[in-house]
Amino acid sequence: MSDERQTRDRVRALVREVLNNALPAEEDAGSSIPIDETRATTASSDVPSLQQQDALTNEPRTARISNIAPASASDENKIVERDESAKMVLTEADVRGLERGARLRIAEGARLTPLAADIVREQNIELVRRPVRRGSGQAKMIALGADHGGFEMKEELKKFLDELGHRTRDFGTNSTDAVDYPDFAHAVARAVADKEADLGIVIDGAGVGSAITANKVPGVRAAACYSVVVARNSREHNDANVLTLGSKTITKDLMCDIVRAWIATEISEERHRKRVAKIEAVERQYKN
């Protein structure tokens, strides 16, 4: 009987030695966490609890958890740090400022500039691709125009629209020499009305004169916008197809925000469509 007890003692000592040698290496991958028996659930009552005592050592077992449930794109509980799925080209400005390991939603088929891609890699940012928002993911032809006061902003706008993946047709002006804004607003409005362009954007000093001119062309609904909120409203409620901007009233950064929001938004509800139809009915009454 004593021989049997000595054998069990030797086995227990051997098991303790093996466990003590193995624990440090395993703890590198994940912390050792005691599991409360009342929390452990099993598929069958035949499966022992994680908190059961070891049959040989009479010591409680612990569970070491390491990456047992890797996060997936379908995990709705994860915090989405930023949504840029309205864009087809993302620049460093679109990814800068995100915390390390943050999630960034982008459109299917969207591409990153080299500097943006470097930031994503360095910050280990998770890219979650999603279907493009309705109307925003398609490359649009956008007619551009400006007077001498809006020329420099128009040149910046062309670069920005190219980064977003859109095509542009520039109706001038091509310098800061003094010109008349109605000429360029009219050219852009005609291009939109004749379906040569999907949308139009005109820049002068205040944006008002170009809006008045463009709205004289049948089929054009031009909106002078000075904020992102107004830009979205002009598209969602009024189905505006020409945007006018004032170079003396907004900054370059605000111009980019306004244009991005304006292009990405579309009229959505039937009640808004009915009201736009009434605008068109008024227009038809005065056609020659």
State both tokens at 158. 């062309």
Task: Give the amino acid at 202.
Answer: V
Round to whole Å and give the CA distance between 240 and 228.
14
Round to whole Å and give the CA distance between 203 and 181.
9
- DSSP run (H or E) holding 127: strand 126-130
Count of other CB atoms within 10 angstroms of residue 281? 9
Count of residues for the chain? 288
Quote the Cα angle for 129-135-139, to 5°.
80
User: Which residue in the block uniquely carries the two structure tokens 């930023």?
Assistant: 82
Round to whole Å and give the CA distance between 143 and 105.
29
Question: Would you give the distance in Å from CA 272 to the centre of its chain?
Answer: 26
Round to whole Å and give the CA distance between 216 and 199.
16
Round to whole Å and give the CA distance between 166 and 159.
10
Task: Give the amino acid at 123.
Answer: Q
Task: Give the amino acid at 186.
Answer: H
List residues bridging with 146 in a β-sheet.
Answer: 203
Round to whole Å and give the CA distance between 145 and 122.
40
Catalytic site residues?
A: 237
CB 43 within 8 A of CB 59: no
